[in-house]
Structure 1
Amino acid sequence: MNNVTGTRAPRIRLAAIPAAALLFALSQGAAAQALANQSVEDRLNTLMRVVDEQQRQIHSLEQQVTNLEMAQRGRGTPGYGAPAGSEAVADQPGADGLPMPLPPLAQLAQVNPGSLAPGGATGTATGVPVNPPAPGGSSVAAPGSSGPASMPDGTIGQTQKAAEPVRTQSEEAVVQREHAPLFDHKLTLDWGISDTYYDRRQLQLSGFLALDAIFLGNINLGETKSHQVMADLDTRYGITDRISIDVDVPYIYRHSNFIVGGAGGAANTLSDASLNSSALGDVNFGLYYQFLKETAGVPDVVGSLRIKAPTGTSPFGDKVVQVSPDNTNLVAPSKLPTGTGFWNITAGVSVLKTYDPVVLFGSLSYTYNIARSFADISSVVGQTQPATVKLGDIIQFGGGVALAFSDKDSASISYTMALEPASKTREPGGSYQKVPGSETTASVLNFGLNHVVNKHLTINGAVSVGLTPDAPNFVVGVRFPYTF
């Protein structure tokens, strides 16, 4: 009995093979028959669904390729182009983050064709997906598909992030130059060189008024052309992700050319003299604190506090001397200063917002100049005049926009204005007196171009054009910040 049972079981299994094959053939035939029994309109709708699903898959792949490229640049959406095995990739339909394959046509054919009315809200013949993407960029899974085709939100030119954005290298260069230090870098060495040019003309009168209407004497036109070349090293160090400190040490070379007319009593004769000097400039220290980190609705806000020390040569006490013994019209200072001669404290705040690829920035600062006493402030040879000098406190504000036209290059334009009230002097035992003509308004238009060489080195070029007589004619400079 046992032998009969053992012999019968293999026979039953063998008989099940053709039965399974028959059932598979019948199911395939039924699917084919169901497809053949459909009307032309139903077949067209089915094919439309296949095409729409393929288009959705193609669009999803294009989006993921874009995000993979952006991830390599440091600006990809989390979860796209992330390393295999990461949590973001694990959430995708496929193990590698790519969409699942398309379902076979037979599965699509078994969906109720009446739900695909041509021209209706769920499908068209123009390639619009039957199931449109849901708000936020994720699409609803089509009936019969094995998973949703993920659609990343956020495209180039429309960066609205819910968290602190991941900036491109060119955008980071703009932030470092126009806004504040990069807090995510521990150490940055920023070396730069700039040339500031001034051209000043002044009417010089030497004589007196007769009958309060007629001037008797010499009328000359004096001109001063000056170049100030400054090379400085700014060392910045990030203490935390919100606090950074820096120290800037400048070295200044100055060249001035003084030109006057009326040499030898002839009005059409010019004479000139040149003067050079070089020395350490005013060293300054800074502390930065990031109050707000940038999000989709909040800009990046950084406060700063800077202190400048009078380490450069002071302009007070320099005597104006006659350059040539036979030309009394040509006079020039004995030396050129490289500093202001004062301690000052500057408190400021800067704001920056990124709308990839556009960066908007602005700043406001107030500089308090500490009064200082000097043993001599007179410029006349043989005369000594002790006094206390108080420079006017400076209010400076400005703003601009930068455009990152690639992941390594950006251009910016900005406007800055500095308002300084009149300076005051006080003799020992006296009261402060206003210095006539010392009130200034300096307004400049700035143009910048940044290029990222690699992840450590950036080249920042700038040109500033003076818009008022108190501002320099122009400033040309280049900086090389190197981050570690």
Structure 2
Amino acid sequence: MTNYSWTRGPRSALAAIPTAVMLFALSQGAGAQALAGQSVEDRLNTLMRVVDEQQKQIRSLERQVTNLEMAQRGRGAPGNGAPAGSEAVADQPGEDGLPVPLPPLAQVTPGAPAPGGATGTATGVPVNPPSPEAGSSAATGAPGAPGAPENPDGTIGQTQRAAEPVRTQAEQAVVQREHAPLFDRKLTLDWGISDTYYDRRQLQLSGFLALDAIFLGNINLGQTKSHQVMADLDTRYGLTDRISVDVDVPYIYRYSNFIVGGAGGAANTLSDASVSSHAIGDVNFGVYYQFVKETNDIPDIVGSLRVKSPTGTSPFGIKVIQLEPDNTNLVAPSKLPTGTGFWNLTAGMSVLKTYDPVVLFGSLSYTYNIARSFADISSVVGQTEPATVKLGDIWQFGGGVALAFSDKDSASISYTMAIQPASKTRAPGGDYVKVPGSETTAAVLNFGLNHVVNKHLTINGAVSVGMTPDAPNFVVGVRFPYTF
């Protein structure tokens, strides 16, 4: 019997189809000769057996082509060779993932012993065909033979579980930046630097109304231009495949330029002054827990709990001073704060779903600011005002989409809104009083660009544009997460 050599790969699966057709045609010709000397009933029985065997061959070839296509997508593994003594050759794939070659039908006369001593049917199809190991090592892909697979144990293609979609490096960068840490990495050092810019203008009135209609005094337009440059190092460590902890230590440099009119009593004369400060910011740390791992049907769901400590310079008690002796209009704080002055807790939930090459993500968080008592909250020189301050708790939500346009590059766009009710103060022995104008709504539109340098280093760039007066004008930054 002729040995058939099969070529590995998806193309060989396609080549198997015309081969099966040729075998089918040969078997028909041989079968016709074998049927010439039989009765009508024997001929019918023989033809039915031939049809059954050929249908088995066709179904087997179709299954093998489907399995190879799935293996190409990473969802299946080519099977092992058919064991000796199997009852249906066409139903068992070879070691290379392709069907074992079937012998031609009706090569012997009806009732004669099948080749190899196997008991045959009326058409000569052997019931127990020889195993594929009987062929040459090159044809079967035995280990050590030319063209043999590197992994002979049949695990080729099982590089992932079918239920978990595999993300590209670019998609992993999006996950790490927009969603949560990568739980499969033990240690990550994420260093970044950003610049936040504010430009605020405010109308300043110094005078009084005469006859309830005429304003007597100075009308000035005050302007404040502020830059806040922050460099921070976020150290993340994966405790398990579902739990990760991190500590973020920021260092902040602040610069503000105050511009006012009315210098020397002239309304059209401007004067300005600059103030800068730098110090450590509010150190914060958190823990992440992955409730649900992403599959083909459900998204990735991660919860987080963060704590921020008041290690930065508090804004309360900083005095506003007159910077020039002859200009009473030009006043500015003696220094700039680098922190909020409060402990707070933030509980959040984020959701992410990958639809290669698109990644959808969203988040919701609630920040609880713990009330704190200060010995002095007054900004007036020579005045001391002790009080307890309670900042408004913050609700923040957002969502966006990222597109991986190559294995290493992706771009994202998202929207974030933070709503904070009014803050309150309470004098010793008194009740809480609302601070006028302290209620804020900050909405920003974020644009990101990620580039994977190698399996350890990623570069994440981002630009955020403020959409409400309470949000910064813009924030531009870059981060360099390095995973070990």
TM-score by length of 1: 0.71
Q: Is the 8 A contact 2:450 2:459 kept in 1?
A: yes
Residues 473 and 103 (structure 1 numbering): CA distance in 2 closer, same or farther, change over 3 Å? farther
Q: Aligned partners of 1:457 and 1:270: how far apart in 2?
A: 49
Residues 213 and 28 (structure 1 numbering): CA distance in 2 closer, same or farther, change over 3 Å? closer
Matched, 1:277 2:277: yes
| 1:175 aligned partner, one-letter code | V
- Listed as ranges, the matches of 1:101-250 within 5 Å are 163-250=163-250
Match of 1:140?
A: none
**SS of equivalent residue, structure 1 residue 377:** coil
Question: Which digits, 9 at most, give the CA deviation of each residue in 1:426-482, with x for residues without a partner?
Answer: 011110000000000000001111111111111111111000000000000111111
Matched, 1:319 2:325: no
Q: Aligned partners of 1:245 and 1:398: how far apart in 2?
A: 23
| 1:250 aligned partner, one-letter code | P
Q: Is the 8 A contact 2:349 2:363 kept in 1?
A: yes
Match of 1:392?
A: 392
**SS of equivalent residue, structure 1 residue 385:** coil
| 2:430 aligned partner, one-letter code | G
| 2:262 aligned partner, one-letter code | G
Match of 2:298?
A: 298
Residues 364 and 29 (structure 1 numbering): CA distance in 2 closer, same or farther, change over 3 Å? closer
Question: Which digits, 9 at most, give the CA deviation of each residue in 1:92-127, with x for residues without a partner?
Answer: 934234x359889x87xxxxxxxxxxxxxxxxxxxx
Match of 1:436?
A: 436
Match of 1:48?
A: none
| 1:321 aligned partner, one-letter code | I
- Listed as ranges, the matches of 1:261-272 within 5 Å are 261-272=261-272
Q: How far has the Cα of 1:77 moved from its partner?
A: 3.2
Q: Aligned partners of 1:403 and 1:78: how far apart in 2?
A: 27
**SS of equivalent residue, structure 1 residue 428:** coil
Q: How far has the Cα of 1:63 moved from its partner?
A: 4.8
**SS of equivalent residue, structure 1 residue 328:** strand
| 1:371 aligned partner, one-letter code | A
Residues 78 and 335 (structure 1 numbering): CA distance in 2 closer, same or farther, change over 3 Å? farther
Q: Is the 8 A contact 2:179 2:352 kept in 1?
A: yes
Q: Is the 8 A contact 2:372 2:389 kept in 1?
A: yes
Q: Aligned partners of 2:62 and 2:257: how far apart in 1?
A: 71
Residues 244 and 306 (structure 1 numbering): CA distance in 2 closer, same or farther, change over 3 Å? same
Match of 1:79?
A: 77
Residues 57 and 253 (structure 1 numbering): CA distance in 2 closer, same or farther, change over 3 Å? same
Q: Aligned partners of 1:190 and 1:29: how far apart in 2?
A: 70
Question: Which digits, 9 at most, give the CA deviation of each residue in 1:132-170, with x for residues without a partner?
Answer: xxxxxxxxxxxxxxxxxxxxxxxxxxxxx8522221111
- Listed as ranges, the matches of 1:332-343 within 5 Å are 332-343=332-343
Q: How far has the Cα of 1:274 moved from its partner?
A: 1.0
Q: Aligned partners of 1:308 and 1:376: how far apart in 2?
A: 22
Q: Aligned partners of 1:361 and 1:335: how far apart in 2?
A: 40
Q: Aligned partners of 1:242 and 1:30: how far apart in 2?
A: 64
Q: Aligned partners of 2:196 and 2:400: how far apart in 1?
A: 21
Percent identity of paired positions between Structure 1 and Structure 2: 81
**SS of equivalent residue, structure 1 residue 446:** strand
Q: Aligned partners of 1:418 and 1:275: how far apart in 2?
A: 28
Q: How far has the Cα of 1:408 moved from its partner?
A: 1.0
Q: Is the 8 A contact 2:92 2:99 kept in 1?
A: no
- Listed as ranges, the matches of 1:309-458 within 5 Å are 309-458=309-458
**SS of equivalent residue, structure 2 residue 170:** helix
| 2:166 aligned partner, one-letter code | V
Q: Aligned partners of 1:230 and 1:203: how far apart in 2?
A: 30
Question: Which digits, 9 at most, give the CA deviation of each residue in 1:341-394, with x for residues without a partner?
Answer: 000000111111111111111111000000011111111111111111000000
Match of 1:70?
A: none
Q: Give the gaps of 5 or more residues in structure 1.
A: 1-26, 35-51, 68-75, 86-90, 108-160
Question: Which digits, 9 at most, give the CA deviation of each residue in 1:189-247, with x for residues without a partner?
Answer: 11111110000000011111222222111100000001101000000111111111100
| 2:444 aligned partner, one-letter code | V
Residues 379 and 230 (structure 1 numbering): CA distance in 2 closer, same or farther, change over 3 Å? same
Question: Which digits, 9 at most, give the CA deviation of each residue in 1:402-429, with x for residues without a partner?
Answer: 1111111111111000000000000111
TM-score by length of 2: 0.71
Match of 2:459?
A: 459
| 2:371 aligned partner, one-letter code | A
Structure 1: 4+ residue segments shifted above 2 A: 27-34, 55-67, 76-80, 91-97, 99-104
**SS of equivalent residue, structure 2 residue 173:** helix
Q: Aligned partners of 1:412 and 1:30: how far apart in 2?
A: 64
Q: Aligned partners of 2:420 and 2:372: how far apart in 1?
A: 18
Q: Aligned partners of 1:290 and 1:29: how far apart in 2?
A: 61
Q: Aligned partners of 1:268 and 1:217: how far apart in 2?
A: 13
Residues 355 and 376 (structure 1 numbering): CA distance in 2 closer, same or farther, change over 3 Å? same
Matched, 1:96 2:96: yes
Q: Aligned partners of 1:187 and 1:242: how far apart in 2?
A: 14
Q: Aligned partners of 1:77 and 1:210: how far apart in 2?
A: 83
Q: Is the 8 A contact 2:64 2:93 kept in 1?
A: no
Match of 1:123?
A: none
Q: Aligned partners of 1:358 and 1:32: how far apart in 2?
A: 56
**SS of equivalent residue, structure 2 residue 204:** strand
Q: Aligned partners of 1:354 and 1:29: how far apart in 2?
A: 51
Q: Is the 8 A contact 2:243 2:289 kept in 1?
A: yes
**SS of equivalent residue, structure 1 residue 338:** coil
Q: Give the gaps of 5 or more residues in structure 2.
A: 1-25, 34-57, 82-90, 106-160
Residues 170 and 216 (structure 1 numbering): CA distance in 2 closer, same or farther, change over 3 Å? same
Residues 262 and 56 (structure 1 numbering): CA distance in 2 closer, same or farther, change over 3 Å? farther
**SS of equivalent residue, structure 1 residue 166:** coil
**SS of equivalent residue, structure 1 residue 223:** strand
RMSD over aligned CA atoms reads 3.2
Q: Aligned partners of 2:72 and 2:76: how far apart in 1?
A: 13
Q: Aligned partners of 1:455 and 1:92: how far apart in 2?
A: 40
Q: Aligned partners of 1:351 and 1:221: how far apart in 2?
A: 45
Q: How far has the Cα of 1:56 moved from its partner?
A: 8.6
